[in-house]
Amino acid sequence: MPNPTQQTQKIAPKRTDIHTILLIGSGPIVIGQACEFDYSGTQAVKTLKSLGYRVVLINSNPATIMTDPDFADRTYIEPITEEIIADIIKREKVDAILPTMGGQTALNVAMSMYEKGMLEGIEFLGAKPSAIKKGEDRQAFKEAMLKIGMDLPKSRYAYTEEEALEAAKEIGFPLIIRASFTLAGGGSGVAYNIDEFKAVAKNGLETSPINEILIEESLLGWKEYEMEVIRDKFDNCIIVCSIENLDPMGVHTGDSITIAPALTLTDKEYQRMRDASFKILREIGVDTGGSNVQFAINPKNGRMTVIEMNPRVSRSSALASKATGYPIAKVATMLAVGFSLDEIKNDITGTPASFEPSIDYIVTKIPRFTFEKFPQADSTLTTSMKSIGEVMAIGGSFKESLQKALCSLETGIFGLNQICNDLEIIKKEIRRPNANRLLYIAEGFGLGMSIDEMHELCKIDKWFLHEIKEIVDSESSITSQILSDESLMRRIKSYGFSDKMIAHWLKHNDGMEISESEVYQARIGLGVECVYNEVDTCAAEFPSLTPYLYSTIGNFMSVGNSAFTRSFGEFENSLCGSPLRLASAKFSAQPQNLTQNPRIADSVNTECQDSSDMDSSNTENSSIVSEVRGLSKNCAETSLKGCRTNNSADSRETHHETNFSKVMIIGGGPNRIGQGIEFDYCCVHSSFALNDLGIKSIMYNCNPETVSTDYDTSDVLYFEPIDFERVRAVIEREKPDGIIVHFGGQTPLKLANSLTKINAKIIGTSAKVIDTAEDREKFASFVNTLGLKQPQNGIAYEKEQAYSVANKIGFPVLVRPSYVLGGRAMRIVYDDDELKQYMDEVIAVSDSSPVLIDKFLEYAIELDVDCISDGESVYIGGIMEHIEEAGIHSGDSASSLPTINIRESMLKEIEQSTAKIALKLGVVGLMNVQYAIYNNELYLIEVNPRASRTVPFVSKATGLPLAKIATRVMWNHSVKKAESKDSILEEALRFYDKYNMVKEVGCVDMESLNSDSKTNKIFTHKPLKHFSVKESVFPFNKLPGADLLLGPEMKSTGEVMGMGKSFAFAFDKSQSACKNPLPKKGKIFISLRNSDKKHAAGLAKTLQEIGFEIVATLGTHKILSEAGIEAKAVLKVSEGRPHINDMIANHEIDMVINTSSNKAKPDARLIREAVLRANIPYFTTISGAKSAAIAMQANSNDNENTRVSTKALQDYLNE
């Protein structure tokens, strides 16, 4: 094969006829559109800048890397609306627009503007409007596919409910309904009967922005595949990656487990699909970028049909990029500005981008769901996406990759855990697509079900079922023999079994009480350890220039390498299905114990256990356990001093030790409610800060959507599950000079104690301090030493104790488990009955941790404070006032920076209290504090000695990158180094204070700290000349049955930011950005709970004065009438017809204000469901409604001095 670097290249330099390019971002994180578009957008901005273009960016999401003021030339954190984009184009003199990096949001707004004639003279890059129209409009797509001879499902289009019913009669049930121009299958569904069809069709027509749905024959049970395709202007086409859905058709690809490369395609099928993909791109007209094409194959007869295509970078593009190492977004951006594929260099290998990636490993993606946050939502998986995030794992075989992915999910499982032993329930759940179906399949095999029987229920390809069955069958071979049998241990580990799972099966099969750490040391003693291979896009054919690593067990390449080599040689470096399937089968073709595995649904401890706490009750195995513990003790004492070396690493590794200092950053794992992109933002900033220090950064994460797992974000990337076993292995391999666990949310924090026990060097706030802050008893004792007020509280370790504590404090109380993030299982309870229900449902949420009970401070004002400490001085990064009152989770509440209702003396008290907490606790780095102001007194609610989800927002609002500053402080503190006469904190602040924002505001009151230090300074930012409002975005429209009522448990998936010269204008922008735009005129419905009715008159009067008509339920109407306010009375649903839901359905209501008590109220819930269906603005708290009224009042004065204006972030920060 010729050396690709010696090939002749065409010369087609970048375009010079365009200068300023507008990139449209995707906005907030929502189901179907997550941080993969920050990853692709960040790559695009960096690429365009490196090519010399002037880049203008609009995105409303402050938690993104792409919206950092240092990335684009001009950054607009503004609502992604047509009016604002038009204003930006005019003021920035934009030449071209790149709409293919911002998901469905960017495509839809760009196309809408184009069709309205708002983009005259502006060129589309990446995909022409005609291509977008053909790819996104289902009618146009169908016509294009038929033109080139592609097979499509039998289908009809409908634009009314009547047309939809006619199509249903013609095609026959079951039916798939798909809405045009929607995100993540929005408005789509499966209908098995006419009643279901009417509901789904109506929803689809309302969801589609062009009121178009496609009704097609059911392909349920067919196999689904995706092709990631790139095409340049010279018609060079490549397949970056083939992806196979483990779940058959009927489950949205974003909710399906997916495998790369496709494993069950024959060579002929693969080539047919590859050729079809190229024909489709040519016909659609995508000639300067990437696309995703989806196919279905009938396993019974091989019929292949085209499902759809995305003429843009997609969710699958991010997965394919991470799976192969091929930077699709970067390449697509360069193609969009005139380059051809052979002119673009692959950064990983230095070879041309025209070479199709080849991979010699298996990648598995598993989606992450959070149905536990929405217990009333339907958890059945359908054609409309419901997952919040995803994980990716890389292994040498499907078995290994699958089990590594399961360990990455952070749902309490560490492999194919047991969840049920009732065969009837198991069969029912195997038939129903759901988040745990894989675990039920394993249970079914464990109880004796055959592959044929299983396939009949779930329609998953038999090859995958065979692989899963082999994993289950091998569980019975995990006996005490494994601790001394190298061959058995290697085989079990090559199947992807975690050490924790091996410990579980040793207890189950042999009664051995053995810890994860002891299993780890036993297998290391046997020489069974992982090797680290590189993701290099070329199956090791060329040297890799970037260390992007994954682990695998054993020298498996000696078994399957010949199959891989043949497939690449025969098919011009294009990966085909059958040879890889053969190779994968070879990996598992080893002798096995196929004895029936008596799986049981017993409880398994999911926390790391210290070996010193374990006792062996099995005398037969006691000598083995003792020997293992001796090895474990000896190795633990010298864990990071060379007990384990990587002598078994294969010859493909090119990563070597250097003389540079190294710091390892542990990421946050999969996105989920409570822990999302905000934490990845902090990890990325930490890596950038280490680069500023000249320190080698090692990133460790398992989320394929993120910027942190981009190959060029850090010096070394490990794509691995974030569990003790794998993290420990990397630490022992790299021997970093420091480990950062504070930026990835709760995920890495949970590992802090275990890592400390193996002498891993955690820099910044210590594990002991983290434990003090997380442990309620220890923390309460700490707070008492500072003399700070806390709500009266108590701790209960059992149910009866909880009743006693709650009654002593007095209802209402706030109850929650310890060591959780995102308010998981947090609830306000008002009496003993509610408390009993809570204790029965939630007591096991946080294993072996107590339930915390606090007095609930109703109507208190809550605040968030982010700060940084170096142990001597403190920087107050931002004090944010929550818009919603106490009782709403801080992650769900809107917040304002600066505050709007807090007096100056209280702000000074907050600064002093925060500094005292940080210094007394011993925080080095970031800390978040939550306060409540109740009856004009300050109460401490919570302290988190880590990065919080508000760090990106505060960083954007003030221009000071908190995570970078904290990283610099943490490192310099660890080496006791300050670069100047200033303190470590002062030096870090000065280094990053680009906008001259920092000011000293005094010193800490040292009397209460008993400190001899004289340098305990407090710093903060200068007064801001603008307001920033953070607003939350919720997934209610994607989860049928979910209630939009807010409470102490977090429900939001993402956030937006509004900026303006006043709070009113900033709040108005925040609502527009989160698709809850405030109306300019019309009718507003008001229905308030009894405790809120005192606010009814003032609120209604303000709205009426600016021209709105008021509609109210009878109780609220009575209050308004008595206050002399004219309003229209309307019935609740339970009171007769016509009622308020009729008015909402008839689009007679323009905004809803509906507050409800904690207890279930059917009428209120029905109103909220109607609001979701009608997609109209709503507020469920009185404080949120008041803020809306303030904003609407400000906007009613329509003149130049008061109108909401568009302004770049750089301009705000330079004020």
* DSSP labels, 735-770: --SEEE-SSSTHHHHTTHHHHHHTT--B-SS-HHHH
Spatial contact of 501 and 723, defined as CB atoms under 8 Å apart: no
Say whether 382 sits in a helix, a strand or coil.
coil
Partners of 967 in the beta sheet? none
User: Is residue 250 a known part of a binding site?
Assistant: yes
Distance of alpha carbon 612 from the chain centroid: 36
Written as one letter, the residue type at 875 is: Y
User: Is residue 217 a known part of a binding site?
Assistant: yes
Contacts of 1207 (CB under 8 A, 6+ apart): 76, 1059
Spatial contact of 709 and 684, defined as CB atoms under 8 Å apart: no
User: Is residue 356 a known part of a binding site?
Assistant: no
User: Is residue 694 a known part of a binding site?
Assistant: no
User: Is residue 888 a known part of a binding site?
Assistant: yes
User: Is residue 887 a known part of a binding site?
Assistant: yes
User: Is residue 835 a known part of a binding site?
Assistant: no
* DSSP labels, 1056-1082: EEEEESSHHHHHHHHHHHTT-PPPSSS
In 3D space, the residue among 1032, 793, 766, 1081 whose CA is nearest the CA of residue 925 turns out to be 766
Q: Measure the CA dihedral 871/818/829/885, to 10°.
A: 30
User: Is residue 224 a known part of a binding site?
Assistant: yes
Q: In the 8-state DSSP scheme, what is residue 137?
A: S
Written as one letter, the residue type at 644 is: R
Write down how long the chain is: 1215
Cα separation, 1121 vs 591, whole angstroms = 83
Cα separation, 811 vs 809, whole angstroms = 7
User: Is residue 456 a known part of a binding site?
Assistant: no
CA quadruple 417, 770, 678, 965: dihedral positive or negative? Answer: negative
User: Is residue 944 a known part of a binding site?
Assistant: yes
In 3D space, the residue among 557, 583, 603, 599 whose CA is nearest the CA of residue 471 turns out to be 599
User: Is residue 310 a known part of a binding site?
Assistant: yes
User: Is residue 252 a known part of a binding site?
Assistant: yes
In 3D space, the residue among 498, 494, 449, 441 whose CA is nearest the CA of residue 468 turns out to be 441
Cα separation, 818 vs 622, whole angstroms = 35
* Cis bond upstream, residue 62 (ω within 30): no
Cα separation, 758 vs 692, whole angstroms = 29
Say whether 13 sits in a helix, a strand or coil.
coil
Spatial contact of 259 and 363, defined as CB atoms under 8 Å apart: yes
Cα separation, 1174 vs 1153, whole angstroms = 14
Strands (DSSP E) contained in 633-743 are 662-666, 696-701, 716-719, 738-740
Spatial contact of 442 and 468, defined as CB atoms under 8 Å apart: yes
Cα separation, 11 vs 8, whole angstroms = 10
CA quadruple 385, 388, 394, 395: dihedral positive or negative? Answer: negative
Spatial contact of 215 and 168, defined as CB atoms under 8 Å apart: yes
User: Is residue 1054 a known part of a binding site?
Assistant: no
Q: Is 978 left (phi over 0), alpha (psi -120 to 50) or beta?
A: beta
CA quadruple 277, 279, 282, 284: dihedral positive or negative? Answer: negative
User: Is residue 178 a known part of a binding site?
Assistant: yes
How crowded is residue 617: how many other Cβ atoms within 10 Å of its Cβ? 11
Contacts of 461 (CB under 8 A, 6+ apart): 223, 246, 264, 299, 455
Say whether 1095 sits in a helix, a strand or coil.
helix
User: Is residue 138 a known part of a binding site?
Assistant: yes
User: Is residue 857 a known part of a binding site?
Assistant: yes
Q: In this structure, are strands 738-740 and 662-666 parallel, antiparallel, or unpaired?
A: parallel
Return contacts of 196-205, CB within 8 angstroms, 24+ apart: 197/164, 197/165, 197/168, 197/173, 198/161, 198/165, 201/158, 201/161, 201/164, 201/165, 201/168, 201/177, 202/161, 203/1173, 204/177, 204/178, 204/179, 205/158, 205/159, 205/160, 205/161, 205/164, 205/179
Burial (Cβ within 10 Å: 0-12, 13-18, ≥19) of residue 448: exposed
User: Is residue 165 a known part of a binding site?
Assistant: no
Say whether 217 sits in a helix, a strand or coil.
strand
Residue 707, token pair as written in the block:
């910027």
Binding residues for Mn(2+): 294, 308, 310, 930, 942, 944
Binding residues: 138, 178, 185, 217, 219, 224, 250-252, 294, 308, 310, 816, 855, 857, 862, 887-890, 930, 942, 944
Binding residues for Mg(2+): 294, 308, 310, 930, 942, 944
Binding residues for ATP: 138, 178, 185, 217, 219, 224, 250-252, 294, 308, 816, 855, 857, 862, 887-890, 930, 942
